[in-house]
Chains A and B, each alone.
Chain A
Amino acid sequence: MSRRRSVHLAIGLALVGLVVGAVLMSYLWLPFAPDDTSGGRLTAPGGDHLLGTDKLGRDLFTQLLIGGRIALGTALGAVAVGGVLGVGAGLLAGFATRWRDDVAAVTLDILIAFPTLLLAMLIVAGAGASLGTAILAIGLAMAAIVARLTRVLVKQVLTRDYITAARIAGISWPRIVLGHVLPNIGPVVLVNLALQAGLAVLAEASLSYLGLGTPPPNASWGRMLFEAQATVLTAPVAALAPGLALVVLVVGVNLSADGLRDLTDPTRRRSR
């Protein structure tokens, strides 16, 4: 069975690699300038324009590549915000004892009860729609989930004999955290962050579709889909390409996370 799982990892990494490769390429070479409207409105795919043009005459493939930058930026940004804040808060909560532990547990339960999308919409409502706001909002919502996971993992690790042994050997807490706690919780937290990255990409796309994420003229895939909706029959490629790109990236991220989990967790490798 584990062979099939490593196939998942390979497929996942290949799909993510495809998107990352295309985005890296976009920094070196773009088929057209992003604001070049010389192609004429809604031309069919083929010729100079691989995927045709949008309703303003901009090259769709160029827009798609730029949307890829935004999608990857969202994934990385939200994971950075959520990972740093979440792991930090989770570590503190994991070391808390007595009433502080109860307060930490209840606070995290409360924070986690807020749905990501509503929290993001609330922050956007206050701070205005922009890519940075969307990333920050998604990252903050993610931080609560990561913090709760980290807290539970830290509590488990702290009961282990090797921690007691390290304490008896006179090793300081900071060095125990760096040397024993973080390496032991790392794989599980990383896999969770990878899954969250996929959700972050979908959340940003939803916000942008609703007009609450990346403002025009920047081409977020969610925004491109909103703009393509009115002309879905005359220009179907414009309505298909960004959606397919989203699915490729998110399936890739999810498969990679699944594969990584099975690599790092021997108990799952056997049972599935």
Chain B
Amino acid sequence: MSHYLVRRTAILLGSLFLAAVALFALLRLLPGDPANALLPVGATPDQIDAARRELGTDASLPSQFLSWLAGIARLDLGKSLISTLPVGPEITARLPVTVPLTLTAFVLAVLVAVPVGVLAAARADRWYGPVINAVAQLGIAVPAFWLGLLLIAGFALNLHVLPAGGFPPDGWADPGLALQSLILPCLTVALVMAASMIRYVRAATLDVLGADYLRTARALGAGAREAMWRHGLRNAAVPVIAVLAMELATTFLGAVVVESVFALPGLGSLLVRGISQHDYPVIQGVMLVSTATVLVVGFLGDVAQRLVDPRLRLRSAS
């Protein structure tokens, strides 16, 4: 286990470092001077120099990179080129939208996908087994933003039961209003995520159903239900846990896109605005936070999988 932890931690740190390098390099080395964002049309060379000094892009690339790393270490992500506000607080201000959206959608998707996926595998011979498969197959092909658009048309514009988008300007001051504006986005992300999770859960359950130990448990007198509960589900949980971590990361990314559909002031809309305005510090900051979240969640999922499965633990010890 310790060997595995060391290796996995090295991969995590390596990818975090690589993310920082990639974020720095791609935005610095590609054509286009970030200073242009600060300058009026037809700026004089003096103005250009001043803008570069202000951004720090007049220094050499290695020293720019070091100061970018040092800034990350101090949790200082620089200032927006457009609003001149610090990027760090701007990101934290948007977490109360993105974090509840991601977590609620994820929990909802898991609550739907696990029972439905097990059912689809255990009752593959009944009529609803194939139906569940067909619906899940359809679900993974539906783009989240389109589903969101359809839900808006149905529930907000036609039935007028929920807001079509936006978020209360004073945030969670009125929890009822805030919740209302998150219902449709949550539903959108959760449905799309549930579709792909159902397929994983079903595959894992099918593998377990064909396993020798389940037959042995049945031969020793356990009922189908008892064998499934005591032996089946625990084994099926192992691959599902690792997938769930990946899916949590994907849910987060889904939320990033769906926020734009519902005009929610979250991380995703901040990123999209940053990209369209060429606001490099904002892009870097949001990308860094997003990538780091995805990487850390993946790390935790892999480690949790090792902890749950004694076979993997033993294999890595040898």
Contact = CB atoms under 8 A, between A and B. Distances in A.
A84 interface: no
Nearest to A106: B11
B210 interface: yes
A232 B152 contact: yes
A136 B146 CA distance: 24
B138 A118 contact: no
Contacts of A113: 11, 15, 294-295, 298
Contact of A121 (B150, B275, B280): B275
Contacts, number: 125
Contact of B143 (A202, A232, A251, A254): A202
Interface string B150-162: 1011000110000
A115 B149 contact: no
Contact of A255 (B137, B149, B290): B137
A232 B290 contact: no
Interface string B223-263: 00000000000000000000000000110010011001100
Given A122-B287, A232-B149, A243-B146, A210 B10 contact: no
B150 A122 contact: no
A46 B179 CA distance: 41
A222 B144 CA distance: 11
Interface string A84-128: 000000000000000000000010011001110110011111111
Contacts of A193: none
A236 B157 CA distance: 12
B26 A126 contact: yes
A117 B283 contact: no
B18 interface: yes
A151 B295 CA distance: 22
A210, A225, A239, A247: most-surrounded residue (chain B CB, <10 A): A210
A233 interface: yes
B290 to A, nearest CB: 6
Contacts of A247: 138, 141-142
B26 A211 contact: no
Nearest to A251: B141
A123 B25 CA distance: 11
A42 interface: no
A236 B154 CA distance: 11
A103 B141 CA distance: 36
Closest 4 CB pairs of A and B: A250-B141, A126-B30, A243-B146, A110-B15
Interface of A: 106, 109-110, 113-115, 117-118, 121-128, 198, 202, 205-206, 209-212, 222, 225, 228-229, 232-233, 236, 239, 243, 246-247, 250-251, 254-255, 271-272
Given A125-B274, A210-B272, 5 more contacts: A115-B249, A126-B32, A202-B141, A225-B149, A229-B261
Interface of B: 7, 10-11, 14-15, 18-19, 22-23, 26-27, 29-30, 32, 137-138, 140-146, 149-150, 152-153, 157-158, 206, 210, 249-250, 253, 256-257, 260-261, 271-272, 274-276, 278, 280, 283, 287, 290-291, 294-295, 298
